[in-house]
Amino acid sequence: MHMKKVLLTSDDLHILAWMREALGRLDVGVADVSPGDLRTRLTDSLADLVVVDAGRTPEVLAGMVESAAAVGGDARLMLVIEPEAVESFRLPVRVPSDFFVRGSSSTEFCARVRALLWPGEEAATQDVIRIDDLTLNLATYQATILGVPVEFTYLEYALFMFLVTHPNRVYSREVLLQRVWGSDYFGGSRTVDVHVRRVRSKLGPELARRFETVRNVGYLWRS
C-alpha cells in the first residue's frame, strides 16, 4: 500500500510549520505548494489530500480544488478557516472535504485528516442518521436527500443536527443560540429564525413538516 501524500498550501510560514509537525504523527508524505502554484500542482500531482489555509474567504480556494476534481482529480480537501468565516462557510459538495478552525488543537487536526485519508476506519453506525430520504453523517458534517448532497452552511447543519439529535423537545431561540452558536455570540436571537427558514427550504416540503415552530416558545424536530 502506497504512502498517502498530502499537499499543504499557505502564505503563513508559522501555520505551515505547525501543520507539518502535526502530520508527523501520521504515516504520510508531506509537500508544500504556494497558493499561486496550487492549480498547476493539483492537475500534475497524485496528492491524496490537499490542506488549504483558506483564511476568511475559503470559497475561492475550495472552488479551485472542486474544479480539479471535476476534470479527473481525486484529491480530498481540508480547509483551514478563520473563526469568523464559520457562520457563512459551506463545505464543497463535489469533493470529499472537511474543515478545521484555526486555533483548534493539533489532535483535532490530525483526527480530521485521518478521517479523510482513511475513510471508514473509524466510522460508527451511530454517526449516521437516516430519516425517510434524508441521511445525516454526524462524523463528516454531510447531508444527502436521495443521495443528492444538501448544501448546508456549517451553522445551518449544526442547528439541524442539534434538533435532530434531540427530537420531540422544544428549544427556545436563546437556548439554541447558546448550544449552536456558542456563549460568545452577541447577535440577536432572530438569526435562529433566519437559519430555520434556510434549513426548511433545503429539506423540501415533506421533511420540513417535521421542523415545527412552537409559537412564542421556539422550535422542535418531530421524530
Please state, in angstroms and rounded to a whole number, the distance separating the CA atoms of residues 11 and 68. Answer: 21
Please state, in angstroms and rounded to a whole number, the distance separating the CA atoms of residues 23 and 37. Answer: 22
Q: Say if residue 43's pLDDT is above 60.
A: no
Residue-wise pLDDT tens digits, 156-197 = 888 998 898 888 888 888 888 888 887 566 677 788 999 999
Q: Say if residue 10's pLDDT is above 50.
A: yes
For the segment 114-118, the average pLDDT, to the nearest whole number, is: 82
Residues 6+ apart with CB under 8 A from 163: 171, 211, 219, 220, 221
pLDDT at 124: 46
Q: Where are the alpha helices (DSSP H) in the chain?
A: 13-23, 38-44, 58-70, 106-117, 154-164, 173-176, 190-203, 205-208
- pTM confidence score: 0.52
pLDDT at 22: 87
Q: Residue ranges of the domains in the chain?
A: 4-117, 125-221
Q: How many residues does the chain have?
A: 223
Q: Which CATH architecture has domain 4-117?
A: 3-Layer(aba) Sandwich (3.40)
Q: Say if residue 44's pLDDT is above 90.
A: no
Residues 6+ apart with CB under 8 A from 25: 110
pLDDT > 70 in the chain, percent = 78
Q: Is 196 helix (H, G, I), strand (E, B) or coil?
A: helix
Q: Of the ranges 21-35, 39-53, 153-167, 200-214, which one carries the lowest mean pLDDT score?
A: 39-53
CATH number of the structural domain 125-221: 1.10.10.10
